[in-house]
Structure 1
Amino acid sequence: MGAKVGGLGSHPTSYVSTHPIFYSAKRQCGISFSEEDYFKEDNKTVIGNDVWIGANAIIMDGVHVGDGAIIATGAIVTKDVPPYAIVTGIPAVIKKFRCSIEQVQILQHLAWWNWPQHLLKKHTKSFQGPIDDNLEDLAKVKLDPKEKN
C-alpha cells in the first residue's frame, strides 16, 4: 500500500550540521569523523494491535502508535498516537477518537487480538458492527488465560 514505517533515523536539528559524519560512528556514508555516537538516531517505532495505516502514510522513527488507531492516507506521523485515535494531515494531528475513553479502556483490557482463533470465530458477529452496539457482549466473553494466542 506504500506506507512507510520508520525512516533513516533521526537527525540532531540543534547541531551545527545534521550530517551523521560528525555525530555517528556508524559510517553510514562509508566514513566518519566521530569515534563514538553523540546522538541517538535509531529510535524504535512501535505499532500497536489492530492499527489501520492508510496508503502513502509515513510514521517517523521513535513514534508509538496505540492499539486500534487509524492513520489516514498520506499522513506524516511525527508524534505518538494514542490508542483508538484517528490522525490525519502533515504533520498528523488527532482528528477524533473512534470511541469514548471508557470504551478504549474496555477494549484494551479485552485485548481481543490475543484471543485464540476459535473464540474470535465464535464471536465474529460482535466484530461486524459499531463499537457501541457490540462492546457489552464482547466484555462478557470469558477467556481462559491458558488459551491466549
Structure 2
Amino acid sequence: MNFLRRSVLDRQLKHSLSRNKCRLDSGIRGLRKDMELTLEYGVKLHQIKINASKLSIGAYTDIVSGSELQNVSSIGRYCSIARNVTIGQNRKSHPLSWLSSHSGLVGLRQRQSPATSTHEEVKQTVVGHDVWIGMDVLILEGVTIGTGAVIGAQSLITKDVPPYAIVTGSPGKVQRYRFEPHIIDGLLASQWWNLTPHQLAELPIEDPEALLDALKGFVVPDSHPGKVVVRNQPFAVDYHAAQ
C-alpha cells in the first residue's frame, strides 16, 4: 500500500474512532491482513501491533505502546496493559525438536512441505475485565486471565489466572488474592464493569465491600456502549451507536 492511500485510510479510521472516543495510534499499519477489530467506547490503543484475526476490546481499556496482541480473541473493559506486553504467543512457533528453532526457517520448511506443519489448532487467549498487566509480560496462547487479576512486570503466564489473583514470576504463580473470597464472588456477580466511570465515581470504589452494600437490591443492567468495527484488507470501518 502506498503512502498516499494509507494516509487517506488513516484519516478515515481516525475520524470514525474519534466518534467513539477511541484511539489507535498505529493506524492501519498496526493491523494484520484479513482481520476484524471491535473497539467499545473509550478504548485507547497506543503504538501497538495487532496480529489477532478477530479481536474485541472492551470499553475504557488502555494499552500502552510496544505491546503486541497475537492469538487473543477478547480483552474486557477497564483493563490497563503496560508497555511491551505480548498476549497470545504461539506455543509452537519455536519447535525444540527440530534442527533449528528459528521461526523463519520453520515457516519456510512448512510452506515447502505442508506435511511437517502441526495441525493442532492455536487456541485463543481471553482477558477478563479490570485486568492490570505490568511491563514486559508474556502471555501464551490459550490462557484465560480472570476478571480483576493483576500480573506483575516481566512475568511469563503459561496457564489460566483466577479472578482477582495477583500473579508474578516466570512461570507465573499466584502470590495472593486482592480480596477475600466472599468479596470476589460479590464483585463478579455484580458485573460492575457495565457501569460508566461517572456512575462508578458516585460509589465507594475505594472500599469494595461498601460498594457491594451500596449495590444491594440494584441490578446492574447490561450495557451496550458505542463501538467501532475495523476490518483490514479490504479496509472497512463501521460505527455503531450506543444502545
Q: Same fold (TM over 0.5)?
A: yes
Checking the alignment, whether the CA contact within 8 Å between 2:168 and 2:175 is kept in structure 1 is yes
1:2 aligned to which of 76, 80, 84 = 84
Checking the alignment, whether the CA contact within 8 Å between 2:192 and 2:220 is kept in structure 1 is no
Name the counterpart of 2:185.
105
Task: Return closer, same or farther for 1:144/1:57 CA change in 2, 3 Å cut-off.
Answer: closer
Name the counterpart of 2:198.
121
Name the counterpart of 2:92.
11
1:44-84 Cα distance to aligned partner (Å, 9 max, x none): 11111110000111111111100010001111111100001
Rounded Cα–Cα distance in structure 1 between residues aligned with 2:157 and 2:129: 17
Checking the alignment, whether the CA contact within 8 Å between 2:127 and 2:146 is kept in structure 1 is yes
Name the counterpart of 1:79.
159
Superposition deviation, residue 125 in structure 1: 4.0
Which has more strand, going by share of residues?
A: 2
Higher mean C-alpha displacement, 127-136 vs 11-20: 11-20
1:131 aligned to which of 188, 196, 208 = 208
Checking the alignment, whether the CA contact within 8 Å between 1:76 and 1:89 is kept in structure 2 is yes
Superposition deviation, residue 95 in structure 1: 0.4
Aligned-CA RMSD value: 3.1
How many residues are paired up? 139
Superposition deviation, residue 141 in structure 1: 3.3
Name the counterpart of 2:109.
31
Checking the alignment, whether the CA contact within 8 Å between 1:11 and 1:18 is kept in structure 2 is no
Equivalent position SS for 2:183: helix
Percentage of identical aligned residues: 27
1:40 aligned to which of 120, 128, 144 = 120
Name the counterpart of 1:60.
140
Rounded Cα–Cα distance in structure 2 between residues aligned with 1:134 and 1:11: 44
Name the counterpart of 2:173.
93
Rounded Cα–Cα distance in structure 1 between residues aligned with 2:106 and 2:95: 20
Checking the alignment, whether the CA contact within 8 Å between 1:12 and 1:39 is kept in structure 2 is no
TM-score (norm 2): 0.49
Name the counterpart of 2:218.
141
Task: Return closer, same or farther for 1:96/1:40 CA change in 2, 3 Å cut-off.
Answer: same
Superposition deviation, residue 16 in structure 1: 4.6
**One-letter code aligned to 2:85:** A
Superposition deviation, residue 104 in structure 1: 1.4
1:62-119 Cα distance to aligned partner (Å, 9 max, x none): 111000100011111111000010001111100001112221121111112123x3xx
